[in-house]
Amino acid sequence: MSKKKTFAKLIKGSGMTVAPGAYDGITATLINASGFPAVYMTGAGTSAALGYPDFGLLTLTEMVRNAARINACVDVPVIADADTGYGNVLNVVRTVQEFERAGVAAIHLEDQEFPKKCGHLDDKKIIPLDDYLAKIRAAADARDDPDFHIIARTDSRAVIGFDEAIKRANAALDAGADIAFVEAPQTLDEVKAVPKLVKGPCLLNVVHKGKTPPVPLGDAQDMGYALAILPTLLFRSVVGLCEALLDELKETNVFPSPPGDMSPRDAFRRFGADEWDELRDKYDKPAASKAAAE
């Protein structure tokens, strides 16, 4: 079964799919090994990995390249942040084509002005509803595989209010989106209301210390969410851990012992060292036998 079809089956299922955020091959491989059913390619983490804030500074090419790299590391579906589609409706068409070629199962497109910013920052600006819906229609029409999911994200809650955000989410579903993503509901009542008011599968963005109050994943499933992403779980944890280790090294001049202390070999095993060794042995042995015979 293709990853796209697997993702479609997950969304149609009775439970909620949890997709932690990856930004490189390390984080993607670890998420996959932990048994999660899907991986989310975080735009914030991807931007940070290239040395930028989440201000819409990366190009389509950079985002697609990272999505392809992450997809190659895992055997579960990948959901990718496609920002605003990187321009007008024509750019959206190419965005869908490129991400689909990269092998991802779904992308989300948002209604912020370009360049966008992280959905949990202040002073966001959004495009008119008609322009947003044109992008969603273009995205739905551009896909090759009907199982490639278009997730319609609206950042309008912070700009024009919760009711208008629900209106945009439902309009996007009518325009051809498969999943609705109301970004940054600001109260627990709003979080609960989204799956009740939106006429289709809903995504919850779980961001620690963001605009949305904390919601246990079990509660989110009970509320009716089909998908939860955790874009900053690993990215921000890595930042904090790296800073702590570097501070300790600078202060003590002694190699710190990080959590999960492991040997180089143990670390490499997480990324397929044993399998690569077997492959090397497979092709080295005939050569060694031939040399011995001569």
Catalytic residue list contains 24: no
Catalytic entry in 23, 32, 40, 66: 40
Closest alpha carbon to 75 in 272, 290, 263: 272
Catalytic residue list contains 81: yes
Q: Does an H or E element contain 107, and which?
A: strand 106-110
> What are phi and psi for residue 207, nearest 5 degrees?
-125, 115
- Residue 7 CA to residue 140 CA, distance in Å, equals 16
Catalytic entry in 168, 178, 205, 225: 205
Catalytic entry in 24, 54, 178, 190: 54
Catalytic residue list contains 205: yes
Per the structure block, which two tokens stand in for 98? 């490129």
Torsion angle of the four alpha carbons 256, 258, 263, 264, in this order, in degrees rounded to the nearest 10: -90
Catalytic entry in 153, 168, 178, 190: 153
Catalytic entry in 81, 147, 155, 178: 81
Q: What does the DSSP assignment read for 231-273?
A: TTHHHHHHHHHHHHHHHHHHHH-S----TT---HHHHHHTTTH
How many CB atoms within 10 Å of residue 24?
Answer: 18
| Cβ density class 125-135: b for 16+ within 10 Å, e for less | ebbebeebbbb
Catalytic entry in 110, 111, 155, 190: 110
Catalytic entry in 83, 100, 147, 190: 83
Taken as a whole, the chain contains a residue count of 294
Catalytic residue list contains 108: yes
Catalytic entry in 23, 118, 147, 202: 118
Catalytic entry in 183, 190, 202, 225: 183
Per the structure block, which two tokens stand in for 292? 């011995």
Catalytic entry in 73, 108, 111, 190: 108
Q: Which residues are catalytic?
A: 40, 54, 81, 83, 108, 110, 118, 153, 183, 205
